[in-house]
Amino acid sequence: MHLTNRRPRVIDTSRHFCPHGHCRYRGWLGAGNLRANGHPNGGPWRQFHCTACKGYFLETHGTLFHGTRESVELIVRVLACLAEGLGIRGTARVFEVDPKTALRWLVEAADQLRAFAAYFLHDLHISQVQLDELFALLSAVKDGEVSEAEAIVRLERSPQWVWAAMDPESKLLLAIDVGDRTLARAQRLVHHVAQLLAPDCAPLFLTDGFREYLTALLTHSGDWVQPARQRAQGPAPKPRWMPLPQLLYAQVIKTGRRRRLVRVRHRVVFGTLEAVQQVLAACGWQSNTAFVERLNLSLRQHVAAIGRRVSTLCKHEEGLRQQLMLYQVSYNFCLPHASVRQLLPQPEPTHGTGSARQWRPCPPAMAAELTDHVWTLREVLLFRVPPWPRPAEG
C-alpha cells in the first residue's frame, strides 16, 4: 500500500449517461461506465469519459447550454424571470438581450422542461385531481388595468383561459394549458391528466360547475354497457355508454359573501357520496374552505401574471404555452410551497429567540415524493433527461 497526496476523485456521475449511439451503455444511468475527466481547455463544463465505448462528452450534452457562448447565469436568470411571469419583452429589457434571443432560450428550455416533467411525472398515485379554468384577463380586470368591457372585447377576439389540473394534497401541478373554454380543451386536459396516472389509479375528480368536464370525464372513463332485458320478447335494449364504476367525480360549489368564500359543498356526479366523502375525509380538509380559497388564489396569482401578458402575446401563443411549461416545472420542483411542509429530521434552531423549527416548506414534487430535494432552475436546465423511462425502483 502506498500513500498518495491526491484526494480521491469523488465526482458524482450517477446522473449522467453516455450519449454515443454505438455504445452498449447508451442512456443508462449509474452503470459505472463514466469517469470525470476535468474541464477541457479550462472551459466551464466538465468532460466525461465513457470506459465502455472510449468516447468523450461534455456534461452539458443534450441541454440548452450545449455549444452556447452566452453566460449560463444570464440564461438562467432570463428564464427565471420568465417563470415568474414577466413578459418576453420586459425580460429582454431588464437583461439587455434581444427579445428574439430570450424567446429562443424559452423555446429551447421548454423542450428540455417537457422531457424533464415527463421523466418525473408518470405512474402517479394520487387520490384527487382538481381541474380549474381561469379567465386569463381576470386579474387585469381586478387591478383596473383594463375595463371589464374591454376585457370582454378582447376575450371575444381571442378567448384565453388558463387551464390547470392539480393534486390538492401535494399541490403538484399536473397539467397547465391555455386556450378557449370548450369541450375540446376540457377533453385535452382530462386526457393529459389520465396519461400521468398509474394504470390502477382512479382519483376523485373535482371541478367547478363547467358542464363540459362531465362529458370529457365520461368519454374518457366510460364503457359500453348492455342493459338487462326488461321483457322476454322484442328487440334487446341498445347498449349504453356508462361511466366506469371506479370513476369518482364531484362538482365543488362555492358560496361566497363579499368576495370571501364561506362555504364549499360537493355535488356528487359519478360515484357514491360515501366514496367521495371517504376520499375527502382521508385528506382531512372536508370542511376546510380556506384551503380551497388559498389554492385558487396562489394559482391565480402566478398564472395571472402570465395570463396578463396574453393580450400582448397573442401572436406568440406558442411562447405563452412554453412560458406556462417553465412555470409548471419551476412551481413543482423549485419553489417551496408555504402550505406543503415536511417534518425536519432534527429541529433546527432559529436565529431569534423562538422555538426550534420543526417543519420546512417543500416544493410540491417533494411532497408527492417524486424527488428528494429542492431543485434550482439551473439544476433543472442542466439535468440530462435519459432517453428511456426510468426503470422501476426498489
Binding residues vs Zn ion (CB under 5 A): 18, 20, 23, 50, 52-53, 55
HSE, side-chain direction, 13 A CA sphere, residue 85:
14
Nearer CB in complex with Zn ion: 55/361: 55
Cβ-based neighbours of 218, under 8 Å, separated by 6 or more: 241, 243, 247, 270
Q: Strands 128-135 and 204-207, how do they pair?
A: parallel
CB of 52 to Zn ion, least distance (A): 5
Cβ-based neighbours of 69, under 8 Å, separated by 6 or more: none
Greatest extent of the chain over all pairs of C-alpha atoms, in Å: 96
Nearer CB in complex with Zn ion: 20/154: 20
Nearer CB in complex with Zn ion: 61/300: 61
Nearer CB in complex with Zn ion: 61/308: 61
State the CB neighbour count (10 A cutoff) for residue 66.
14
Nearer CB in complex with Zn ion: 20/337: 20
CB of 20 to Zn ion, least distance (A): 5
CB of 275 to Zn ion, least distance (A): 51
Nearer CB in complex with Zn ion: 49/181: 49
CB of 39 to Zn ion, least distance (A): 20
- Beta partners for residue 176, in sequence order: 164
State the CB neighbour count (10 A cutoff) for residue 311.
19
CB of 53 to Zn ion, least distance (A): 3
CB of 18 to Zn ion, least distance (A): 3
CB 340 within 8 A of CB 331: no
Rounded to whole angstroms, the Cα distance separating 376 from 72 reads 13
Cβ-based neighbours of 312, under 8 Å, separated by 6 or more: 87, 89
